[in-house]
Each structure stands twice: as structure tokens, then as C-alpha cells.
Structure 1
Amino acid sequence: MEFFKGILSKKIFNSRVNAQDTTGKERWLGYLLGPAGALLLNAVLATYLNVYYTDVLGLTSIWGGAFLVIFPIVSQVINAIVNIVMGYVIDRTRTKQGKARPWILFSAPVITISGILLFAVPEMSTTLKVIWIIFSYNLFYSFAFTIFSMSHNLMAPLSTRDTTQRGKLSVFNQIATIMMSGIIVALVFPTVIMPKVGIDKGNWITIMSVISFIALPLTLLEYYYTKERVTEESVGKEQENISYKRQLKVIFKDKYMVIIFAYFLIYIMGSNLKNLSLVYYCNYVLGTYNDGVTQSMLSIIGGIPMGIGVFVVWPLAKKFGKRNLTVAGFILYAVGSIICWIFPSNMIIVLIGQFIKNIGGLPCAYVIMALFADTLDHIEWKVGFRCDGIAMSVYNTIAVTAGGICIGIFNGILSFAGYVSPYYDQQEA
């Protein structure tokens, strides 16, 4: 750690942000553009990696379909352990550059390498192919993206104690997420990229390599244009090493943090199942295979509220309160989801349901991380020390564990239903 600390003390690694208050350059470069590369790669993987595994590599036949059910769940157990360890490590990282930013720097090249390896699966025996897939999957999800995600999500809470400034940073962070998942992945991919890529393995490797390389300079941009002002407050002060057990006990005894964790568990389960099933749903229920229109229609209707939300959510949150606005959003979200569930094959009604659902999702999208940061401040006020790393490790553990369970459940349903990708179906015919 001392060697690591010494390297980061060099001038070349200093933040390019020096102001005591957050700046426009910091918001635009550090919180909007910077995270976009890694978030884009992750958004593409969330929607299309399973499609690549089933439709391009034909993995549904391995172990009678059990491989795609078991391996994601086992991998997320590893991921959960790494999350716990990283929370502990981040809280004990003390460098000139802060405690979270150094890990953003470290994650940048690993995200690029692992993103490429996920798709560049060599033609070899089934056993070796399985080993490659397990290794590359865990290198990205259990290592590279876990380190990035935990550090990235801590930047807004560690950047400032000013709730207004922190709220703006959270909005910029969320805009980056929505731009990548709601515009690039949901609009550009199904209309422009997927019809050309199809089920050609070489095309997939090319496009994913480009996206992976883009993530490297953008992640470095986030590192250089962020600043841990809250961490800097404790520089030079004697710091007590609070045990992991004590911090864990503190966060789970705080009712507000428990509520946020419970909400996030429900939200992430729903989001993962939606993302995994969306391509299949558009291909086989609402439209035809890779028609380039159906998924885009859903995304456009769903994306309009998200665009409007940039301007209206925070004024409404100030007027009615973050909690009240979020609760009202949940009700609308449920109404929209029920409409889609009752009429799953009627395009017009599904689009109406999507629109209502995404209006309801606005408060969650733009307010949740600000609420999380407020809760961390509340815990510090109550017990006298911060639990940023541990709290974020629990937050991420919920995300990855729920994600793995969802992938396993979804692939189990595909296998049970006898799903065969179009390519392999044509080969058999």
C-alpha cells in the first residue's frame, strides 16, 4: 500500500480540479462524459451479452442447458465476496488522490481488456471454451467493473457536503447512465448495429472491441476531473480504524439505509429481468427478429420522460421532498407495469404503459444516489465516522447477487421452454 501511495503522490496523478466548490467542468467531464465509456460497455453487456451467449455461441446446449443457469449465479457469489473486500479496502485507502479515485484509475485498463475477452472466445473444445467464458466473465464483473462501479458511485458523496451541489452531480451521473442505456443501447443498437452485426461472431468482436477501447480514455477523464473534498477534510488528522463488523452493524441499524437497500434489491431485480428479456420480447412477441423498429419504439417512448426529467425532477423534489416524490413515482411505475403485463402483445397499449412507467421511474433515476449520500451523512452525524466503502459494498453486493440470480432464472426459463437461437435452428433445418 505504501508503494501504491507513493506513486499516486506524483504530480502526474493529481486531479485537474482545484476549486473548493464543484465546477461546471467537473460536472461535464468528471460526472457526465467520463463515466460514459464504462457505463456504455456495461449497458451493452446487460442487454446483449446473454444474446451473444445464446444466439452466437449457442451455449444453451452445454450441460443440457444447465451451464447458463448455474455459472452466472456462482460467478455472482464470487462478485459478492469481491464487493465486500473492496468496501473494506476503499475505506482503508489513504492517498493524496483520495480513497475512491485511485481505484477508478486502476480499473480503466482492466475494463478495456476484460470487455474484449468477453467476446473474443476462441474456437476450441467445449471444456476450454467454458473455462474462457467463466474467466472473462468474472474478470469483468467480479473484478474490473466492481472496482469501477464502487468507486464511481462514491464520487458524488465524497465530492462535497453541499446537498445542492451533490444533487447536481447525481443528476449528471444519471444523465450519463440514461444516455448510454436509453439512447445508445436502446436506440442506436437495435436500429443501426444489430441488423448489421446479426449473429456473426467476427462482427460482434469488432464492435465490442471498439466500445471497450473507448472506455479507457473516458474512465481516465473521470479520474482526472473529480475531487474528493470530503476525504480531504480528514487529511493530517488522526483516524481511527473502525472494524468492518462495527461499520456493518451501524449501517444495518440505520432504518433509512435499510430502506434504501430494500428498494434497491426490488429495483435491480426488476431492471435485470427487463433488460435480459427485452430483446427476446421484442423479437418474438411484439416484432420480428432484429427488425430494428420494435425495440426502438419502446425505447423512444420510454426515453422521452427521462429526457424531460432532467429539468423537472429536482424542482419537484425541492417542492414536495425527495421521499414524497419517489413514493409517488413508485405508484405510477406500478400502474404502467401492470398495463404492459395485461396487454403484452398490443403495441399501442404497451407503449402507453411504458410511457406511464417511465414517468414513474424519474424520481428513482435522478434522486436515489442523492438520498444514498444524504443517508451516509446522517450515519456520520449519528456515530461520528463515515461508512462509505462498506455501505457501497453492500449496495453493490445486492446489485451483483440479484443480477446473477436473474440471469440464472431467465436462462433456466429459456432452457425449459426449449429455446433455440435462429442460427442453430436454421442449421438443424
Structure 2
Amino acid sequence: MAKEKTQSGLTMKHKIGYACGDLGGCMTFALMGAIVTRYYTNVLQVNTVVLATMLLVWNVWDAVNDPLMGALMDKVFAKKHSKKGKFRPWLLRSAPCVAISFIIFWTVPTYFKGVTMLVVLFFCKILYEGFYTMFNIPMGSMLSAMADTDGERASLSSARGFGSMIGNIIPMMIMPQLLAKFGDTSKAFAIGGTICAAIGFVFCMLHYAWTEERHVTDAPSEGSDSVKFTDILNVFRVNRPFLALCIHGICICTMQYVGSTLGTYMYGDVLGNIGMMSLASAVGMPLGIVALIVVPKIADKFGLERTIRTCLIISSVLYFVLFGAMMVLPVPAVVYMLVSALAMGFASVSIYMQWGLVGEAIDYNEMITGKRTEGSIYGTFNLTRRIGQTVGNSAAVLALGWIGYQAGAATQTAGTLTGIKVLVVLVPAIFVLGSWIAFRFVWNITPDVRAKMAAFKASKEAPAAAAEE
């Protein structure tokens, strides 16, 4: 039986350190959204057809490398069992690699032309994504190694939410200013990429310095030497909480990306006030901050899963009511903005707090399988989120053609406007409801099951306590 040492109590330093992880990671990853497309097309002048093909391959790689990296970390630890920890060594290895590969991505391809440039660009992106995954998987998995209770999981999830929010804002303040000063030039992107990589590296190292694996195993547990890459297939079969999380990951990310992809069409074509989108963002951020502050306290009292489930059903109801109203009434843009922001705010609670439930699913998996495979579980959960993101983004674009949207037309047909309402309001309502169903009918960690998990954990800790006396 493994000997396990547990440090009691999360400190403020732990929480700030955990927040620094997503802040540091997002400092680079945030620029891989809308900004990077300008780099591809305006600086490197990549043909759009070629770019679409490369994006498809990159997306497949992004999806596959998450569970593979997680399984690799589990397997390496089961074999070598480093006393330095299961995840922190990977953080130390990957943080400088993320920064260096990110700078390379924004600089090296600009020195080449034609097919050579495309080959260099392709492998630079593959390199960065691989190192980013090498950092992101242990960073996310650290939550389960640091938290014991719903309150601790909620606190760390909230901290991660704050870090993510700040890490996404800073790059989007830096890069637009550089583009305004230097234009769409290789110099602007190189400077911006280097600055964001440097800032991100500092926060990634703070994450390493200010966090600790509170559950440190000194010797392999029973069965740990048999950790296999295929273990995750058995997890899907026996671990209902993990299955619920995967369903939720696909549903919530599909909802998110359908809404974000088509939001401009709702405000511009249906409501006739595209400028209201800026106000919607201004309203949404305070709601997110309030949620990150309040929800951990509520979760500590009522339970994390129950809190998330309640927020999801409220969000779904708000979306359904909003859709019904828009089908029979001319809803003003400001009313739509307020109600949709509120609905998204409640749904976002599940996004901010889902990491705590991943930790509980990991604990449950250890109880029923005898193996603690945080990396595989976290990595595969990330895979389901990638699937939702890809489906939401791609399906939304295809659906515009299905509903007859005419680009550049002064007005759209009544059928097209109805189609936009369905896609932007009804579809999110259905997918948020899907997440609620996953937690209501698939998730099976009840108070009785939680008591069994606590007893299992106590039985593991008892030999360690006896050995120390």
C-alpha cells in the first residue's frame, strides 16, 4: 500500500499560485484566437484554402495530444515515482519550452517564403501546441493534487477563473496597440509575441513556485505499475461522473462557440444594433467576477455539483424564455443584451467551476479502479472540450448557409432572421439543458458515495499515519 502524506489546508499563496498557472498559459494561448489569423494572412500571406487545411490538421493534433500527454504523465510517474511529485516536474520542464516555442512561432516563419515557409510554420505551430499541452495538463491536474473538499475545489476553480480572465485580457491589450503603431508587420507580431511569452513565463514559474502537491505518494500503489494508455477506455465504462463531465464538456463548449461565432449576426442583422455587443462584453465581465467571488462560498455550503446544476437550469430557462419572447415580440436590443448576458453568466459558472468536479471524478476513479490517473482523465476531458469547440465553430458557420444568409445584403429574409434566433438563442438553451441532464441523471456522486470515497481515502492514509508514529 502506498504511503501518502497530506498537508492540511490551502493557503492564499496556493490559490494565487494556482491562478498564475492559467494566467501564464493564457498569455500565449489567447493570441492563438482571432489575432493569429491576421498573422497568417497579412504577414505570411498564406492562401486561405491552404490555411483551412493546415487548421484542420492542427485542430486534430490539438485534440489528440491532450489525452496522450495526460496518459504519458500517469505512466511515467507509475514507473519512476519521482519524489519531486507527479506534475510539478513537468511544469518546470515545459514553462521555458512554451515561451521559446511561442517566440519562434511569431518570428522564424517570417524569414522564409513559399512552400518552405509553410513547412516551417506548420512545425512551429505543432511544436508550440505540444509544449503548451505539456504545461496545461499538469497545471490543470494539480487541482486534484491540492484540494480535498468541495470548498477547496471551488476556491481553486475560482482562482483559475480569475487567472484565465486576466491572462486573456492582457494580450488583447498589448497586441492591438502594437498593430496600431507598426501596422500588420512581422515586427509588430514579433514584439507582441515576445512580450506575451516573457510575461507568461514569469507567471508560469510563479505557479510552479507557489503550488504544491499536497498528496505525495512515496511508493507505487497497488496496480500503479500497470498503468496503460488504454486505461481511459475503462474509465468511460465505469466512471459515471467522468462520463457526465465529458457530456458536459461537449455541450457547454458547443453552446459557447455557436453563440460567439454568430453573435454579430444577432446584433447586426436581427437587432440592428451591432454596437450593443461592446456593452454586452462590459456587462458580462462584472457578472463573471461576481460569480467567481460568490460561487465558492455557495458551493462550500450546498455542494459544487448541486451549485453548478442549479446555475445550468436557470441559464437554460432564461434562454428558452428569451427565445419564446423573440418569436412573438420585437425584443429591444438592450433587453436581449441583458437577458442573454445573464443566461450566459449562469452557464459560465459551470465553465469556471468544472475543474473542481474533474478533481472529484479523479478521486472516484481511484476508489473504483485502484489507480489515480489524473493526467489521463484531465487530458481526455480537455479532448471533449476541443470536440465541442470544433463542432460549435464549424457547425455555426455551415448553419449560416443552411438558413440562407446572404453576405452583404441590406436585409435578410424573415426565414433567415428566424434561423439566426434559433442558432443564437434556442440552440444554446438546448445544449445548456444537455449539460444539466448530464449532471442530473449521469453524475452519481451522492452523499452516500461521497462518504464511501472519504472512507476509502481514510483507509489509505491510516497506514501512513501509523508508520509515522
Question: Per the shorter chain, which TM-score range?
Answer: 0.7 to 0.9
Deviations 1:69-101 (A, max 9, x none): 322222233334433332222112221221111
Aligned to 1:242: 226
Aligned-partner residue type, residue 77 of structure 1: V
CA distance in 1, matches of 2:299, 2:264: 34
Match among 389, 395, 398 for residue 381 of structure 2: 395
**Pair 1:139 & 2:139 matched:** no
Aligned-partner residue type, residue 55 of structure 2: P
Q: Helix, strand or coil: the match of 1:361?
A: helix
Aligned-partner residue type, residue 370 of structure 1: G
Aligned to 1:31: 18
CA distance in 2, matches of 1:41, 1:284: 33
CA distance in 2, matches of 1:115, 1:409: 29
Q: Is the 8 A contact 1:84 1:394 kept in 2?
A: yes
Aligned to 1:370: 356
Per-residue deviation at 1:326? 2.1
Match among 254, 269, 282 for residue 300 of structure 1: 282
Any residues of structure 2 matched to 1:56-95 within 5 Å, and which?
56-59=43-46, 62=47, 65-92=48-75, 93=77, 94-95=81-82
Structure of higher CA gyration radius: 2
Alpha-carbon distance change, 368 to 34 in structure 1, aligned in 2, over 3 angstroms:
closer
Deviations 1:5-31 (A, max 9, x none): xxxxxxxxxxxxx95432211211x11
Deviations 1:27-73 (A, max 9, x none): 11x112343121222123234223433455443xx2xx432332222
Give the count of matched residue pairs. 389
Per-residue deviation at 1:112? 1.0
Structure 1, unaligned runs of 5 or more: 1-17, 421-429
Per-residue deviation at 1:268? 2.4
Match among 305, 312, 335 for residue 330 of structure 1: 312
Match among 163, 168, 178 for residue 176 of structure 1: 163
Alpha-carbon distance change, 184 to 419 in structure 1, aligned in 2, over 3 angstroms:
farther
CA distance in 2, matches of 1:253, 1:391: 13
Alpha-carbon distance change, 370 to 347 in structure 1, aligned in 2, over 3 angstroms:
same
CA distance in 1, matches of 2:259, 2:171: 14
**Pair 1:213 & 2:202 matched:** no
Match among 231, 245, 264 for residue 249 of structure 2: 264
CA distance in 2, matches of 1:44, 1:255: 35
Structure 2, unaligned runs of 5 or more: 1-5, 409-469
CA distance in 2, matches of 1:41, 1:340: 37
Per-residue deviation at 1:306? 0.6
Per-residue deviation at 1:300? 1.3
Which one is further off, 276-285 or 68-77? 276-285
Aligned to 1:114: 101
Per-residue deviation at 1:374? 1.1
Aligned to 2:135: 148
Q: Is the 8 A contact 2:151 2:299 kept in 1?
A: no
Q: Helix, strand or coil: the match of 2:226?
A: coil
**Pair 1:383 & 2:366 matched:** no
Q: Is the 8 A contact 1:47 1:275 kept in 2?
A: no
Match among 84, 89, 93 for residue 102 of structure 1: 89
Q: Helix, strand or coil: the match of 1:122?
A: helix
Which one is further off, 40-49 or 238-247? 238-247
Q: Helix, strand or coil: the match of 2:218?
A: coil
Alpha-carbon distance change, 189 to 277 in structure 1, aligned in 2, over 3 angstroms:
farther
Q: Helix, strand or coil: the match of 2:94?
A: helix
Q: Is the 8 A contact 1:333 1:358 kept in 2?
A: yes
Q: Helix, strand or coil: the match of 1:168?
A: helix
Per-residue deviation at 1:109? 1.4
Deviations 1:373-411 (A, max 9, x none): 112112222233212122112112223444456666678
Alpha-carbon distance change, 333 to 133 in structure 1, aligned in 2, over 3 angstroms:
farther
Aligned to 2:208: 223
CA distance in 1, matches of 2:401, 2:41: 10
Aligned to 2:434: none
Alpha-carbon distance change, 164 to 413 in structure 1, aligned in 2, over 3 angstroms:
closer
Q: Is the 8 A contact 1:69 1:408 kept in 2?
A: no
User: TM-score, normalized by length of structure 2?
Assistant: 0.71
Aligned-partner residue type, residue 304 of structure 1: P
CA distance in 2, matches of 1:373, 1:114: 30
**Pair 1:21 & 2:5 matched:** no
Aligned to 1:423: none
CA distance in 1, matches of 2:104, 2:398: 25
Q: Is the 8 A contact 2:25 2:167 kept in 1?
A: no
Per-residue deviation at 1:335? 5.7
User: TM-score, normalized by length of structure 1?
Assistant: 0.77
